[in-house]
Structure 1
Amino acid sequence: MLGRTLREVSTALKQGQITPTELCRKCLSLIQKTKFLNAYITVSEEVALKQAEESEKRYKKGQSLGDLDGIPIAVKDNFSTSGIETTCASNMLKGYIPPYNATVVQKLLDQGALLMGKTNLDEFAMGSGSTDGVFGPVKNPWSYSKQYREKQQQNPHGESEDSNWLITGGSSGGSAAAVSAFTCFAALGSDTGGSTRNPAAHCGLVGFKPSYGLVSRHGLIPLVNSMDVPGILTRYVDDTAIVLGILAGHDPKDSTTVQDPVKSFVLPNLIDVSKLCIGIPKEYLVPELSSEVRSLWSKAADLFESEGAKVIEVSLPHTCYSIVCYHILCTSEVASNMARFDGLEYGHRCDINVSTEAMYAATRREGFNDVVRGRILSGNFFLLKENYENYFIKAQKVRRLIANDFVNVFNSGVDVLLTPTTLREAVSYLEFIKEDNRTRSAQDDIFTQAVNMAGLPAVNVPMALSSQGLPIGLQFIGRAFCDQQLLSVAKWFEKQVQFPVIQLQQLMDDCSLSLENEKLASVSLKQQ
Structure 2
Amino acid sequence: MLRVSLREISAALKEGQVSPTELCQRCLSLIKATKFLNAYITVAEDTALKQAEESEKRYRTGQTLGNLDGIPFAVKDNFSTAGIETTCASNMLKGYIPPYNATVVQKLLDQGAVLLGKTNLDEFAMGSGSTDGIFGPVKNPWSYSRQYREKHVQHSHTENEDSNWLITGGSSGGSAAAVSSFTCFVALGSDTGGSTRNPASHCGVVGLKPTYGLVSRHGLIPLVNSMDVPGILTRCVDDAAIVLGILAGHDPKDSTTVQDTFKPFELPSFIDVSKLCIGIPKEYHTPGLSSETLALWAKAADLFENAGAKVVDVNLPHTHYSIVCYHVLCTAEVASNMARFDGLEYGHRSNMDQSTEVMYAATRREGFNYVVRGRILSGNYFLLKQNYENYFVKAQKVRRLIANDFVNVFNRGIDVLLTPTTLTDTIPYLEFIKEDNRTRSAQDDIFTQAANLAGLPAISVPTALSEKGLPIGLQFIGQAFQEMQLLTVAKWFEKQMKFPMVQLQGVMDEGHTVSHHQKSAFFS
Give me the TM-score of the superposition, normalised by structure 1: 0.96
Mapped contact 1:119–1:174 kept (Cα < 8 A)? yes
Pair 1:125 & 2:128 matched: no
Deviation per CA, 1:312-345, whole angstroms, max 9, x where unpaired? 0000000000000000000000000000001112
Instruction: Give, in angstroms, the shift of residue 265 of structure 1.
Output: 2.4
- Three-state SS of the structure 1 residue aligned to 2:418 is strand
1:510–1:398 CA distance, 2 compared to 1 (3 A): closer
Deviation per CA, 1:166-189, whole angstroms, max 9, x where unpaired? 000000000000111100000000
- For 2:493 and 2:146, the matched residues in 1 are separated by 26
Alignment partner, residue 426 of structure 1: 426
Residues 87-486 of structure 1 aligned to structure 2 (within 5 Å) = 87-153=87-153, 162-486=162-486
- Three-state SS of the structure 2 residue aligned to 1:308 is coil
1:10–1:182 CA distance, 2 compared to 1 (3 A): same
1:161–1:148 CA distance, 2 compared to 1 (3 A): farther
- Three-state SS of the structure 1 residue aligned to 2:502 is strand
Aligned length: 518
Mapped contact 2:215–2:250 kept (Cα < 8 A)? yes
- Three-state SS of the structure 1 residue aligned to 2:332 is helix
- For 2:5 and 2:87, the matched residues in 1 are separated by 31
Mapped contact 1:139–1:177 kept (Cα < 8 A)? yes
- For 2:433 and 2:256, the matched residues in 1 are separated by 37
- For 2:27 and 2:311, the matched residues in 1 are separated by 42
1:155–1:33 CA distance, 2 compared to 1 (3 A): closer
Pair 1:513 & 2:512 matched: no
Mapped contact 2:149–2:520 kept (Cα < 8 A)? no
Instruction: Give, in angstroms, the shift of residue 362 of structure 1.
Output: 0.3
Alignment partner, residue 53 of structure 2: 53
Residues 30-45 of structure 1 aligned to structure 2 (within 5 Å) = 30-45=30-45
Mapped contact 1:244–1:265 kept (Cα < 8 A)? no
- Three-state SS of the structure 2 residue aligned to 1:274 is coil
Deviation per CA, 1:338-382, whole angstroms, max 9, x where unpaired? 000011123110001111111111000000000000000000000
**Amino acid paired to 1:73:** F
- For 1:110 and 1:66, the matched residues in 2 are separated by 7
- For 2:522 and 2:496, the matched residues in 1 are separated by 25
Deviation per CA, 1:211-264, whole angstroms, max 9, x where unpaired? 000000000000000000000000010100110000000000000000011122
**Amino acid paired to 1:333:** E
Residues 57-76 of structure 1 aligned to structure 2 (within 5 Å) = 57-76=57-76
Mapped contact 2:146–2:520 kept (Cα < 8 A)? no
- For 1:233 and 1:112, the matched residues in 2 are separated by 18
**Amino acid paired to 1:20:** P
**Amino acid paired to 2:376:** I
Q: Which runs of 5+ in 1 are unaligned?
A: none
**Amino acid paired to 1:504:** L
Pair 1:522 & 2:521 matched: yes
Instruction: Give, in angstroms, the shift of residue 64 of structure 1.
Output: 4.2
Deviation per CA, 1:97-126, whole angstroms, max 9, x where unpaired? 001000000000000000000000000000
Q: Which runs of 5+ in 2 are unaligned?
A: none
1:221–1:274 CA distance, 2 compared to 1 (3 A): same
- For 1:88 and 1:317, the matched residues in 2 are separated by 36
- For 2:107 and 2:152, the matched residues in 1 are separated by 43
Give me the TM-score of the superposition, normalised by structure 2: 0.97
**Amino acid paired to 2:492:** W
Deviation per CA, 1:375-400, whole angstroms, max 9, x where unpaired? 00000000000000000000000000
**Amino acid paired to 2:380:** N
Mapped contact 1:211–1:456 kept (Cα < 8 A)? yes
